[in-house]
Amino acid sequence: MVLTLLAPGQDHIHEAKYRMRIIEASTTLGQELTAHQRGLFARDGALHFKRFLGPQAVADIIKAIGEVEQQWVHEEVRTVRGTPVKYGKDMDGRPMVQRFAFASHYHAVLAEVLQDPRLKAILQLVGDDARLGTEEKDGLVINHYLNASGSGFTEMGWHTDSIRDLFLGKRVGPMLNVGFHLDDQDPANGGLRFLPGTHRQGLGGMLFHKRYFMDKRADPREAAFAIEAGDLTVHDGRMWHRVQRSALVGEASRRRVMYIPVINGSYAPKTAESRTPFYHRFQHLVK
């Protein structure tokens, strides 16, 4: 599917039409990945599974997130295991958490989502020693995007997830980000964008292909998912991606998604004593 969009001009770039590719959803996720699903991932670096979560599960997760948010706002939680918590204001002016970290450790419902046996099929894309990073990286991250005046999280510039390994003095290893989507997202209104195939780039491409977080411009080669609440997506951490600001304002722009990393190699858990990684100093660039 190809979608014609009008990309907003940024950094003195004039507005221009481009035809954006929509990554078609594969068949549903089962206990094993099919050869077709493996082939799609090898080609694009991304997969989209429809209806991974049912409506009640989505509602339960949203309720659980609200309970964790209420607790963190009340206790003025600023960091979790060394990872900063991102705050903003909701449309009524009340403080809201817009980026959670290690959220599965703060509510049983969020922890239960990660026990779904179907997720073991995703691990196959990394290898026999792959695991969900519930204790590593930033754990279960929840991003809450809202296009409103007080929001602190409306978009995100181009980046790769694997660059963090270099900041930590490690070799770039296989990594996936598995996304649980809690709201519908018409790509015509914004949302996740990525450059298919860039998961196969070398180190030079990962470092210099875009200006990390500073560059928010549309790319004629970018693709997107047409998301419905309950869908599951997977993208390779080495792939360039960004989040486009919603063309809608207020409640209609709200988009909540949970991400858990799939990693392998040596076990590196974060604790309450963990220091804030250097790369989080750039968080102010994400607004």
Place of tokens 């419902």: 109
Determine the pLDDT at residue 207. Answer: 76
Of the candidates 163, 118, 113, 121, the one whose C-alpha atom is nearest the C-alpha of residue 139 is 113
By three-state DSSP, how is residue 87 classified?
Answer: strand
The conformation of residue 11, written as its DSSP 8-state character, comes to T
Whole-number Å distance between alpha carbons of 137 and 178: 13
Determine the pLDDT at residue 59. Answer: 98
Whole-number Å distance between alpha carbons of 150 and 189: 20
Whole-number Å distance between alpha carbons of 114 and 227: 20
Count CB-CB contacts under 10 A for residue 241: 24
Determine the pLDDT at residue 6. Answer: 41
Determine the pLDDT at residue 203. Answer: 76
All residue ranges of the chain with pLDDT < 50 are 2, 4-16
Of the candidates 52, 46, 53, 47, the one whose C-alpha atom is nearest the C-alpha of residue 28 is 52
The pairing of beta strand 255-263 with beta strand 131-132: antiparallel
Determine the pLDDT at residue 13. Answer: 33
Q: Report yes or no: 90 and 70 within 8 Å, Cβ to Cβ.
A: no
The conformation of residue 219, written as its DSSP 8-state character, comes to -
**What domains lie within the chain, and their CATH numbers?**
45-266 (2.60.120.620)
Report the Cα 9 to chain-centroid distance in Å. Answer: 24
Where do the H-state alpha helices sit in the chain? 35-44, 55-75, 108-113, 119-123, 163-167, 203-208
Q: How far is CA 108 from CA 61, 73, 230, in A?
A: 10, 19, 19
Q: Encode pLDDT of 224-237 as tens digits.
A: 999 999 999 999 99
Determine the pLDDT at residue 9. Answer: 40
Rounded to two decimals, the pTM is: 0.90
By three-state DSSP, how is residue 85 classified?
Answer: coil
Q: Which residues contact 131 (CB under 8 A, 6 or more apart)?
A: 123, 262, 263, 264
